Amino acid sequence: MTVNVSSIGLKGLEGYRVQVEVQVSKGTESMVIVGLPDASVKESKERVLSAIRTLDCDVTDQKIVVNLSPSEQKKNGPLFDLAMAIAVLKERKHFSEEIPRETAFIGALSLDGSIVKVEGMLPALIAAKALEFKKVFLPYDPLIPIEMLEGIECVVVEHITDVLQYLSGRVPLTLPVRSLPVKEAESSVTFQKDFSDIIGQEQAKLALEVASAGGHNVLMSGPPGCGKSLLAETFSSIFPPLTKQAQLEKISLYQLAKEKLDSPDLVPYRHPHHSASSVAIIGGGQNPKPGEVSLAHNGILFLDEMAEFTKKTLDMLRQPLETGNVTISRAHSTVTYPASFLLIGAMNPCPCGYLGSNTHYCSCTPKQIQAYQNRVSGPIYDRIDILLTLYPVNLEQSEERRESSLDVQRRVEQARERQYARYQAEVTNARVPYEQLIKTSPLTSNQQKMLTQVSSKQQWSNRVQIKMIRLARTFLT
């Protein structure tokens, strides 16, 4: 006889159903796990055997074979410990109750039968909901906002005996579940830096407002001290707050990357140093983890001194900028992580930084200037919607009344709501498919003719022309 118990496997953020099949027969006492398990899964046999022995389940002179299906998918992590133990107990007739097919079990086991949390449980729960599971048994983890996972019953247990009591209908005392709060989208978040702190740079502020409203990438160029970094650091304060779904995605990605989570409702803002490796930016490793582009999902990726990043690293940004996700291929697996972020870059106009400055003399030769600017390749420039040239401002403008981030954020939210209503989805002008953009915002014949003439004269690519249409649509939103 074979017993089947369901669990959840993870491939990046994508989850899939894993059938834990257990067969027990007479023979040399052993436990064999098949189905492409990695080292952490193979070690489960010692934890499972120790846990079931605490329940006086006799497996003496018994050969236990565990098959993790689908067999062609490589399994990793100790998520399947609990499912294996329940299947072995059911096979040994330690309990007689049927296990519903729409019930899943996730969690690692201690040697005494306690169920402990593991990384990746939140993505597994989100996947369980998508796979139409009705109930999931899992250990307690305060970082999982269980109350936000509507449509699925999460049964929090701390010992394998709790699971057996639930299955037999004898529900134990409820554990005190205090999960990380996931808030509704709101505008009451307080930021350390505000748009009202920026002196002058009105054109740049307007450009960032347009970029935030339409999801357009920005590259700022200007001499040192003109305010590029301050503008970028203040940029997140005018972003619309994250939705519940975006907050869940943020928590999941940070858990997989083992990164400290500041607050789930804050827009992600990532600021990697220019010495960061391509693996740190894009993601990777033997078991591919999310990189900076994925940790900035639904938020902002700021590359200061953009020309100082290696050309290889910058060119690797092409795929996430174009598709909104990043695919990491390794010998044993291929993992895809979401990476829909807004890129904001900052760089000097030349190696010394003072090209075009009214206060300093530029000592760079034309060849040096061209070589420096060529560090950012043409395809990356093509994917940047707004190119800003900044100049130092006069501090005498500090007495002028300046608009706060909250005022700008309200306009950005209104602009995005109009885009969502127009496209019938939470997508901005920069991300909506071109066919849908033109269908909802058709160009007149005169506008199309003028764009064709200018593009031919300037030798603009089709991508640049589409980018201009998207940007114009945001201005008119």
Note whether 245 and 387 are same-domain residues.
Answer: yes
Q: Is 232 exposed, middle or buried (0-12, 13-18, 19+ CB in 10 A)?
A: buried
Q: Is 136 helix (H, G, I), strand (E, B) or coil?
A: strand
Q: Which tokens go with 451?
A: 């764009």
Question: In terms of Cα–Cα distance, which of 70, 90, 68 is closest to 80?
Answer: 68
Note whether 282 and 417 are same-domain residues.
Answer: yes
Q: What local confidence, expressed as pLDDT, does residue 178 receive?
A: 53
Per the domain annotation, does 453 fall within a domain?
A: no
| pTM for the structure as a whole | 0.86
Name residue, tokens 């257990």.
22
What residues contact 97, with CB distance under 8 A and at least 6 apart?
167, 168, 169
Note whether 214 and 306 are same-domain residues.
Answer: yes
Spell out the SS3 assignment of 366-410.
Answer: HHHHHHHHCCCCHHHHHCCCEEEECCCCCHHHHHCCCCCHHHHHH
Question: In terms of Cα–Cα distance, which of 146, 167, 157 is closest to 5?
Answer: 167
Note whether 150 and 274 are same-domain residues.
Answer: no
Note whether 385 and 337 are same-domain residues.
Answer: yes
Per the domain annotation, does 209 fall within a domain?
A: yes
Note whether 234 and 130 are same-domain residues.
Answer: no
Length of the chain: 477
Q: Which tokens go with 89?
A: 């107990």
Per the domain annotation, does 451 fall within a domain?
A: no
Model confidence at 6: pLDDT above 70:
yes
CATH of the domain at 251: 3.40.50.300
Last residue in a domain, options 393, 411, 432: 432
Number of domains in the chain: 2
CATH of the domain at 55: 3.30.230.10
Residue-number span of the structural domain to which 56 is assigned: 2-167
Per the domain annotation, does 230 fall within a domain?
A: yes
Mean pLDDT score, 390-411: 79
Note whether 274 and 330 are same-domain residues.
Answer: yes
Model confidence at 399: pLDDT above 60:
no
Q: Which tokens go with 427?
A: 């997508």
What residues contact 150, with CB distance under 8 A and at least 6 apart?
none
Note whether 128 and 276 are same-domain residues.
Answer: no
Residue 80 belongs to what H/E stretch?
none
Last residue in a domain, options 394, 413, 432: 432
Per the domain annotation, does 360 fall within a domain?
A: yes
Per the domain annotation, does 326 fall within a domain?
A: yes
What is the band of 187 on the pLDDT scale with cuts at 50, 70, 90?
Answer: very low
Checking DSSP bridges between strand 334-338 and strand 289-290, what pairing results, if any?
Answer: unpaired
Note whether 253 and 398 are same-domain residues.
Answer: yes
Note whether 419 and 277 are same-domain residues.
Answer: yes
Note whether 393 and 329 are same-domain residues.
Answer: yes
Preceding omega of 320 cis (within 30 degrees of 0): no
pLDDT per position as a tens digit, 146-170: 877 888 889 999 999 999 988 887 7
Model confidence at 292: pLDDT above 90:
yes
Note whether 131 and 32 are same-domain residues.
Answer: yes
Residue 327 belongs to what H/E stretch?
strand 325-329
pLDDT per position as a tens digit, 257-276: 888 887 788 899 999 999 99
